[in-house]
Amino acid sequence: MRRPLIAGNWKMNGTKAEATDLLNGIKAGVAGMQKVDVAVCPPFPYLYIAQDLLAESAIAWGSQDVSQEPGGAFTGQVSAAMLKDFGCRYAIIGHSERRQFNGETDALIARKYAQAVSNGLVPILCVGETLEERESGKTEAVVAKHIDGVLDAEGVDAFAHGVVAYEPVWAIGTGVTATPAQAQEVHAFLRQRIASKSKQIADGLRILYGGSMKPGNAAELIAQADIDGGLIGGASLKAADFIAICRAGEDNA
């Protein structure tokens, strides 16, 4: 079956010293967990610290974005090959904050996804609806569009090499979490959408939930049939909270 994955999305937070403390704390706290995959996604400048501190551990690390271009004159961008050079396994792609604040489109996100895969990174493709979209009954249409961006451009095989994260925008950083039933409904819909092209790939695809996942609600979310772990923002900045969520993944595996 699918191994749960708990990934921390640190966003634009921390200092060198804080990153070091957090990584050391997480490393000590998850040592011995064997059934859950754990990953951290620090800001780009701190990836080398993850590479230094986590190299001998079972914890993987990744970036929060990747360029859609392989290299060259693209000021300010970071290529998938560079991320591999720093030992990254994962790259978060299409987070709602990048869609909202950086104008990322499904077409651009599909190119980033392809760059990640072709360089041996595992993309974590974020999808999710705003509150307004949910309230007007558009949740399925919106997440379908987000998934179809990659499905249409790259084909279903691309999902054999990636992870999906369902992150309702109204739940991100708000303290309001989707109920387990609300999340499960969308996760099942997403899996079905992939299954309509390949049941085998859909069955193997990890679909994470993200949006105010915390120690107090992680277990019941991860217990849902189609929820295979979490993408954790705020709670990934506190070692004790992140470790407790990893523990929920370990216990639900």
Tell me which residues are annotated as active site: 95, 167
5 lines the binding site for ligand PGA (CB under 6 A): no
Q: Residue 21 CA to chain centroid, in angstroms?
A: 22
β-partners of residue 165 are 126, 208
Tell whether residue 14 is a contact of ligand PGA (CB under 6 A).
no
Tokens found for residue 185: 């409904």
Tell me which DSSP letter residue 132 carries: H
Establish if 167 lies at the interface with ligand PGA (CB under 6 A).
yes
Nearest residue to the partner ligand PGA, using Cβ: 233
Three-class SS state of 195: helix
Binding of ligand PGA at residue 173 (CB under 6 A)? yes
DSSP E strands, 28-113: 37-41, 60-63, 90-93
Kindly state the tokens that stand for 104: 């990322």
Closer residue to ligand PGA (CB): 50 or 172: 172
Shortest distance, position 117 Cβ to ligand PGA, whole Å: 21
User: Judged by CB, which is closer to ligand PGA: 98, or 201?
Assistant: 98
Site string for ligand PGA, 194-223 (x = CB under 6 A): ----------------xxxx----------
Query: Using CA atoms, how far apart are residues 187 and 176, in angstroms rounded to an integer?
Result: 18
Residues that bind ligand PGA (CB under 6 A): 9, 167, 172-173, 210-213, 231-235
